[in-house]
Amino acid sequence: MNFLIKLQSLDRRWIYLLVALAIIIPLLIPFDSKTYTTEPVENIYQKVDSFSGKSNKAILMVFMHDASTMPELFPMEVSVLRHAFERNVKVFTICFTPTAAPLVDYAINTVREQFPDKKSGIDYCNFGYKPAALMVPMVLGMGEDISKAVDIDSEGRKIANLPIMQDIKNYNEMNLIINFSGSDYGYTWITYARSKFGANVAAGVTAVMAADAYPFLQTGQLLGMMAGLKGASEYEKLDDVFASYKDANYPSGRPFSKEIINETIANDTFKISDQKVYAFKKARIGMNSQSAAHILIIIFIIIGNLGYFIEKSKQKQDQ
């Protein structure tokens, strides 16, 4: 009892130090933790996977954020790109904010370190930065003809002349748009690309934005959603269990199976410590750090409240 009361007067700097250690230690020393996948993330994964090896199918990744939200959104973008490259899915990228332009290049270059054979204009195409005022006309225009709506890519090449555009014309082929943003869940794409042309739209959002996006997820206007580091870690898990899995029976990765993912989680067969490279485990390592900090803060809240009520009770007794 007295110990809890004394903690009420503890110098706050010790609390800050403990929270800092709870965040830093899991980042420096990654530990194994189970990652449970959810249906909204699985839906995105399966849709991307369904385009595997098809020349007439592609995905569009929309970068709508700056460096401030990179810790949550960048691991998602890297995971989706990695999945697409592993499964030979054509990828298009675009951004409507100038601060996102370097992040698109950074994400592509990060994944290309593992896939040096992937070529711009053949396997992927970066449309580059486009002014926000042109967003609605481009969203509508891509429903008719992508090469006319966008015209040139980030390297100044005519879209219509690029090999990647073979068999790709509009949303019938580029039939999955994933919008990554810390303040927008893809409302423009839902309003125009989804409503007018029937395109599949998904969202990658920060954790605080997830609540705003759930109504669109529940009505089916959003195919799926990745929310915060948890969503990113789920996609990393799915990619490792399926797309990047290689053996004699599945030389190109194995198909998605709920039974396999449940078995993997139950048996904890995938471990971060088993991997020689942590480059594509950022979200899961970050989740460990986030979880440790959250647990510590919850403990502090419980101890603080107990100490407060015990102290008040003691004061009444003394009176």
**Dihedral sign of CA atoms 136, 138, 141, 143 in order:** negative
Confidence band, pLDDT 50/70/90 cuts, at residue 270:
low
pLDDT digits (tens, 9 = 90+) for 243-262: 998 888 898 899 999 999 98
- Average the pLDDT over 263-285 and give the result: 73
Rounded Cα–Cα distance for residues 80 and 265 (Å) = 21
User: Nearest-CA neighbor of 49 among 231, 278, 223, 286?
Assistant: 223
Cα–Cα distance for residue pair 103/117, rounded to 1 Å: 21
CATH number for the segment(s) 39-270: 3.40.50
110-122 residue pLDDT tens:
999 999 999 999 9
Q: Mean pLDDT over residues 135-151, rounded?
A: 96
Q: Which of 122, 123, 76 is nearest to 103 (CA)?
A: 76
What is the mean pLDDT of the segment spanning 290-298? Answer: 90
Least confident of 52-56, 204-208, 280-284: 280-284
> What pLDDT score does 1 carry?
61
Confidence at 9, pLDDT banded by 50, 70, 90: confident
- pLDDT tier, 222 (very low <50, low <70, confident <90, very high otherwise): very high
Tens digits of per-residue pLDDT, 19-33?
999 999 988 887 777
pLDDT of residue 158: 96
At position 118, the amino acid (one-letter code) is K
pLDDT tens for 156-170 read: 999 999 999 999 999
Domain positions in the chain are 2-30+283-318, 39-270
The share of the chain scoring above pLDDT 70, in percent, equals 95
Sign of the Cα torsion 158, 164, 170, 174 reads: negative
Output the average pLDDT for the chain. Answer: 91
What count of Cα atoms within 13 Å lies in the side-chain half-sphere of residue 252? 9
Burial track 256-274 (b if 16+ CB lie within 10 A, e otherwise): beeeebeebbeeeebebee
What's the whole-number mean pLDDT along residues 133-155?
Answer: 96
